[in-house]
């Protein structure tokens, strides 16, 4: 398992969510990240999800 970071920002740049979670693959992490965004209602906010190596796998601005 690998640890991924999911961060959500508001328009002023303030962090609304800064969470880590584990997944087996980048594809699984992208799916988990999208589900977490939907649960919290943040899918239209600026967000990013990165791998342990800081590779961007999910982004919305």
> How would you write the pLDDT of the chain (61 residues) with one tens digit per residue?
999 999 999 999 999 999 999 999 999 999 999 999 999 999 999 999 999 999 999 999 9
Task: Decide the pairing of beta strands 2-9 and 46-50.
Answer: antiparallel
What pTM did the predictor assign?
Answer: 0.92
Report how far residue 52's alpha carbon sits from residue 43's, in angstroms, rounded to the nearest whole number.
22
Place of tokens 């649960």: 39
Tell me, what's the pLDDT at 39? 96
Tell me, what's the pLDDT at 15? 97
Outline where the chain has alpha helix (H): 26-40
């Amino acid at each position: 398992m690998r640890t991924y970071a999911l961060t959500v920002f508001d328009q002023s740049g303030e962090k609304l969510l800064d969470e880590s979670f584990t997944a087996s693959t980048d594809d699984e992490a992208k799916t988990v990240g999208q589900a977490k965004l939907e649960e919290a209602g943040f899918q239209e906010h600026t967000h990013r999800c990165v791998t342990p190596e800081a590779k961007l796998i999910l982004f919305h601005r």
